[in-house]
Structure 1
Amino acid sequence: MNFPQLKMESTFGQLGLNIQKPVQEIEQPAAEISIQQPKAELEMETTPGKLTIDQTQAWEDMDLKHIFKRIEDFAQNGYQDWLAGMGRRASEGDDLMRIENGGIPIADHAKINGESPIYEFNIGFVPSHFSVKTNYQPGDLKINWKANKPEIDVQVNKPRHDYTPGVIRGEMKQWPSLKIEVIGLEVDEKK
């Protein structure tokens, strides 16, 4: 006796995924930097030193006088000699006026006026010590300076970020199926 049989044929479903990957682009532009260094400001003010040397006294000690000084000395000496002469004559006049007091004033005056004067001299230095006079004013230097700070300008650029998200699409590559057949269900037609 034949029993009917069931024949089942199934096909599994297959799910397919279509994946489009995400795209990410990041670009960092360089920062823009501008640096300027202004020059330092420097001011210098100089007052030069001053040295004065006065040799007038030394030259005069060596009898090398300027003509104006020589004229002044001659005038001064002439005036002093004139005053001394006037005093001498007055003194001689007084001596002559008092002739009654005795003595021979005319002979005494002739003897004094006829002799050369005696000059005393010991050690002398020409020119004399400290006859050259020096004076020194030191110079002066004033320095003013100002250091200028650098001028720095920085512009930071933001990063460029482009992002395209990924896409996943599902699709059925194969649909599931079930096929059922009955085998052995034959009807005897002879009967």
Structure 2
Amino acid sequence: MQLPQIRLQSHFIRTGLDIKQAVQKIEQPSAIQSIEQPKAILEIQTTPGNLSIDQTKAREDMDLKNLSKRVEEFAQLGYQDWLDGMARRSSQGQELRHIEKGGNVLASLAKENGSKPQKQFNVGWIPSHFSVQIDYQPAEVNIEATPQKPIIQAETQKPIHEYTPGEVNVEVLEKNSLDIDFINLFPEVKG
């Protein structure tokens, strides 16, 4: 036996898409910038150092005296020798005045006046310790620095933006359809 049937056959719609992509271009120009750094204001005040060396005493110890010092010493030595000579003559005069007391006064005076005193010798050209006087005043430096702020100028640039929108075109390639078919709807009668 054959049963009646309804046959449905459907076809979906087929579409085609024509797509043009969107184009976007963005460009960011660099900012215009100017930076200037002024030099710091610098003030330097210097008091120079002072070094003084006095070697007068060392030169005198080595018998390298200046003329005025040597004249002064000779004058002092002459005066002292004159005083010593007066004292010696006075003393010897006293001894001669009392010659009657006895003794060998004339011989002792002749021996004293006739012989020179023995010279003492020592190394005389080496200066004594600390005979060179040194005085040093160190230099003073005062520094004052005043910093300067930088001068910055900046100008921004707007971005360059170009945009072309995209496009989509839809096209129907095949329409949808529904086919209906009836089978064995009317059975055949045999007879």
Q: Normalised by the shorter chain, which TM-score bucket?
A: 0.5 to 0.7
Matches within 5 A, 1:44-59: 44-59=44-59
Q: Is residue 63 of structure 1 aligned with residue 72 of structure 2? A: no
Per-residue CA shift, 1:60-82, capped at 9, x if unaligned? 23332211111111111111111
Unaligned runs of 5+ in 1: 1-29, 160-191
Give secondary structure in 1 for the equivalent of 2:83: helix
Match of 1:124 in 2: 123
Match of 1:114 in 2: 114
TM-score, structure 2 as length reference:
0.54
Match of 1:140 in 2: 140
Following superposition, the deviation at residue 95 of structure 1 comes to: 1.8
Contact 2:61 2:128 in 1 (8 A): no
Unaligned runs of 5+ in 2: 1-29, 159-191
Following superposition, the deviation at residue 109 of structure 1 comes to: 1.7
2: CA distance, partners of 1:41 / 1:126: 57
Give secondary structure in 2 for the equivalent of 1:63: coil
Match of 2:75 in 1: 75
Following superposition, the deviation at residue 144 of structure 1 comes to: 1.6
Contact 2:55 2:132 in 1 (8 A): yes
Give secondary structure in 2 for the equivalent of 1:78: helix
1: CA distance, partners of 2:42 / 2:101: 93
Match of 1:171 in 2: none
Amino acid at match of 1:63: D
Give secondary structure in 1 for the equivalent of 2:118: coil
Give secondary structure in 1 for the equivalent of 2:135: strand
2: CA distance, partners of 1:153 / 1:100: 122
2: CA distance, partners of 1:72 / 1:141: 45
Identity percentage of aligned residues = 50
Amino acid at match of 1:42: L
1: CA distance, partners of 2:47 / 2:94: 67
Matches within 5 A, 1:7-18: none
2: CA distance, partners of 1:68 / 1:114: 34
2: CA distance, partners of 1:73 / 1:124: 20
Over the aligned positions, Cα root-mean-square deviation in angstroms equals 3.2
Following superposition, the deviation at residue 146 of structure 1 comes to: 1.6
Instruction: Tell me the matched-pair count.
Output: 130
TM-score, structure 1 as length reference:
0.54
